[in-house]
């Protein structure tokens, strides 16, 4: 990875990136291409036509080519050397090539520098392309937007639009800013955000996010956030930051390179010195040449570049599938997961609740619904939203005071001068309020209500299991991963869902601290745990798990901030995809490590034995690096 490589090997003030930019052209590398042309012409003249030049002329021609190809490398090696940093690939290549000139191997010295620089060019290009493709997956924000001002349409930059203004999005255009739909209905393509090609139908009042594409008639949207604060901007920032968070494998390779390079220098010196004491016909130039071959082939480029590039690819592939990893380190974590712990509501179920039945206990039903809806209107929980939606416009003139949320229990507040409790049966037990014990046997989710310390009745609410939840659990079992469900909902509800989905273990009636205890107990057994929840209410468990995964990050700022991995489209099946992408990335990375180390060990042996030349060393070095890069780049083209 050139960016990480620049951090480890290129100091920020070196101003050196092998001439690579994201908009680079072949012409920008004319010095290197000229050096390559000179080398080819000289080899053709020498070996094709047996034309040779005097020593002085040959030296001038080859030094010209050498400086054209290696100026940047030599410059950086010098700048590092004056800071007493000798153990880096630039100094290594400089020593090897200058040594080749010193013993009269002009063409080989030039060849090493030319092919090394070409390899660096291709490596830079591959990394820039990988980074660009990651960004392109999500950076789909339009440059202009139509905003309605003074009953006229003005075309402005998205950053110039203010909160509260109304924008128009024509069919086929991308939404530029987050907002709420004012049109009666609209259909959007959300593939760039969620990885799903299925159109998303929105109705008036529903949220619309930047990056969605309007598929039908003109849609009017009221802007709810500034351009820089849109969900898409935050997701983009997160994905870009992810490339800078190194995996354990990357960190190991970085540490390995820092130890490996000094050892290689020491061995190269010994390869020149030791034979003097043991070889009868010792020839200094011969053994120096062998040590130069040793230095060239030992360059750690293939590892330093291809491994981070593999993680780039994994992050890009995940993003393409609507899964946001906050760093390559979490790709590694997902390969070790053997237990997946899940929340129920919003994770395995849709979290779209509908009121099924209202039962009162000697209380006027209309007043009961009004008081319950009033207190629930102060909560954003899906169950609370279902109750307020069911009640309709009955809250006008209702006085709501002192509402507090009691975690894992429900809500307490003063409504029209009456003390109202609304939540689960644990809430009533907490306040020593007796109720009909028969409701403990109700399978559905219920909201139990007490008014002025007297049990007043309950509301039953139904949720719906997500379409792909059952398949997701089956796929996890096929990967030999244990499944556990933790929920604050009633045990009877939890058991019903767990039985339908074939979940291994299920626990209900849990407070947040109880969920932490359950996860800690699993960790104490040595389990590697991924926890999937909403990333907000379950923040303590997310923090405790080896991998915290949040569902529905597209609609929640807090979710994006809390979790290690964000599944943007709410589909449980993406959990399996995240694990598979992690394993795929690991396989590619280790293929590159084994390939690079195997070839290097073989050619190092051949070089030390005088069999391999500098030509073979540089071709092997650059060839391995390019093969490893091509292997890493192919991750983004794979399908999960």
- Which DSSP helix (H) or strand (E) runs through 458? strand 454-462
Q: Are the C-beta atoms of residues 225 and 234 closer than 8 Å to each other? A: no
Residue in 343, 546, 564, 570 annotated catalytic: 343
Rg (CA), the chain: 32
Parallel, antiparallel, or unpaired for β 166-169 and 219-223? Answer: antiparallel
Measured CA to CA, the distance from residue 331 to residue 247 in angstroms comes to 8
Measured CA to CA, the distance from residue 298 to residue 303 in angstroms comes to 11
Parallel, antiparallel, or unpaired for β 565-567 and 354-360? Answer: unpaired
Measured CA to CA, the distance from residue 431 to residue 386 in angstroms comes to 25
Phi, psi (degrees; rounded to nearest 5) at 486 = -120, 130
From 159, 160, 187, 185, select the one nearest 172 (Cα to Cα).
Answer: 187
Question: Is 124 annotated as catalytic?
Answer: no
From 399, 435, 437, 439, select the one nearest 419 (Cα to Cα).
Answer: 399
SS3 content of the chain, % helix, strand, coil (to 5): 55, 15, 30
Q: Where are the beta strands (DSSP E) in 330-406?
A: 339-342, 354-360, 400-406
Q: Are the C-beta atoms of residues 140 and 195 closer than 8 Å to each other? A: no
Measured CA to CA, the distance from residue 328 to residue 281 in angstroms comes to 53
State how far Cα 537 lies from the chain centre.
23
Q: Are the C-beta atoms of residues 211 and 275 closer than 8 Å to each other? A: no
Neighbour tally for 87: CB within 10 Å: 18
Angle at 106 between CA 100 and CA 108, to 5 degrees: 70
269 contact partners, CB below 8 Å, separation of at least 6: 291
Measured CA to CA, the distance from residue 191 to residue 196 in angstroms comes to 5
CA distances from 566 to 481, 482, 534, 578, 608 (A): 20, 21, 10, 10, 51
State how far Cα 53 lies from the chain centre.
57
Phi, psi (degrees; rounded to nearest 5) at 396 = -60, 125
Measured CA to CA, the distance from residue 413 to residue 415 in angstroms comes to 6
- Which DSSP helix (H) or strand (E) runs through 447? strand 445-451
Which residues are catalytically annotated? 343
């Amino acid at each position: 990875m050139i960016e990480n490589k620049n951090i480890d090997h290129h100091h920020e003030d070196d101003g050196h990136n092998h001439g690579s930019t994201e908009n680079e052209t072949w012409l920008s590398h004319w010095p290197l291409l000229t050096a390559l042309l000179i080398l080819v012409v000289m080899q053709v003249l020498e070996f094709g036509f047996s034309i040779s030049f005097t020593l002085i002329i040959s030296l001038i021609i080859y030094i010209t080519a050498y400086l054209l190809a290696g100026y940047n490398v030599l410059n950086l090696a010098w700048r590092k050397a004056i800071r007493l940093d000798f153990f880096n690939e630039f100094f290594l290549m400089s020593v090897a090539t200058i040594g080749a000139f010193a013993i009269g191997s002009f063409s080989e010295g030039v060849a090493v520098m030319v092919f090394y620089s070409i390899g660096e060019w291709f490596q830079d290009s591959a990394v820039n392309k990988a980074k660009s493709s990651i960004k392109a997956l999500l950076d789909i924000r339009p440059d202009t937007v139509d905003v309605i001002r003074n009953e006229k349409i003005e075309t402005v930059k998205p950053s110039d639009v203010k909160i509260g203004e109304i924008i128009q999005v024509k069919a086929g255009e991308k939404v530029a800013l987050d907002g709420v739909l004012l049109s009666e209905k609209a259909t959007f393509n959300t593939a760039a955000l969620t990885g799903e090609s299925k159109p998303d139908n929105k109705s008036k009042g529903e949220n619309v996010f930047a990056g969605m594409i309007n598929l039908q008639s003109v849609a009017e949207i009221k802007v709810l956030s500034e351009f820089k604060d849109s969900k898409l901007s935050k997701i983009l920032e997160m994905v870009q930051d992810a490339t800078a968070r190194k995996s354990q494998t990357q960190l190991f390779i970085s540490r390995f390179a820092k130890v490996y390079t000094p050892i290689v220098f020491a061995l190269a010196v010994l390869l020149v010195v030791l034979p003097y004491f043991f070889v009868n016909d010792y020839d200094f130039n011969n053994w120096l040449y062998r040590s130069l071959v040793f230095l060239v082939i030992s360059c750690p480029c293939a590892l330093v570049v291809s491994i981070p590039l593999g993680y780039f690819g994994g992050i890009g592939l995940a993003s393409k599938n609507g899964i946001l990893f906050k760093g390559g380190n979490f790709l590694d974590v997902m390969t070790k997961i053997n237990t997946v712990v899940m929340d129920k509501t919003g994770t395995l179920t849709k979290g779209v609740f509908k009121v099924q039945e209202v039962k009162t206990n000697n209380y006027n039903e209309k007043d009961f619904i009004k008081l319950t809806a009033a207190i629930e209107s102060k909560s954003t929980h899906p169950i609370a939203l279902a109750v307020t939606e069911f009640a309709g416009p009955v809250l006008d003139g209702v006085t709501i005071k002192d509402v507090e949320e009691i975690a894992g229990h429900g809500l307490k507040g003063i409504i029209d001068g009456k003390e109202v409790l609304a939540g689960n049966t644990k809430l009533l037990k907490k306040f020593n309020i007796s109720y009909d014990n028969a409701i403990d046997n109700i399978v559905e989710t219920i909201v139990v209500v007490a008014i002025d310390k007297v049990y007043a009745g309950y509301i039953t609410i139904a949720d719906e299991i997500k379409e792909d939840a059952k398949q997701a659990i089956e796929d996890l079992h096929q990967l030999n991963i244990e499944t556990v469900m933790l929920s604050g909902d009633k045990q009877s509800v939890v058991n019903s869902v767990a039985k339908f989905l074939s979940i291994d273990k299920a626990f209900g009636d849990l407070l947040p601290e109880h969920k932490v205890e359950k996860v800690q107990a699993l960790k104490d057994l040595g389990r590697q745990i991924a926890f999937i929840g909403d990333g907000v209410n379950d923040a303590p468990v997310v923090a405790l798990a080896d991998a915290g995964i949040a569902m529905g990050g597209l609609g929640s700022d807090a979710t994006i901030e809390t979790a290690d991995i964000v599944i943007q489209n709410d589909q449980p099946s993406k959990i399996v995809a995240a694990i598979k992408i992690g394993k795929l990335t690991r396989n590619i990375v280790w293929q590159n490590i084994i390939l690079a180390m195997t070839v290097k060990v073989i050619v190092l042996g051949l070089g030390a034995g005088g069999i391999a030349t500098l030509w073979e060393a540089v071709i092997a070095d650059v060839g391995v690096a390019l093969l490893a890069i091509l292997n890493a780049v192919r991750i983004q083209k794979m399908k999960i």
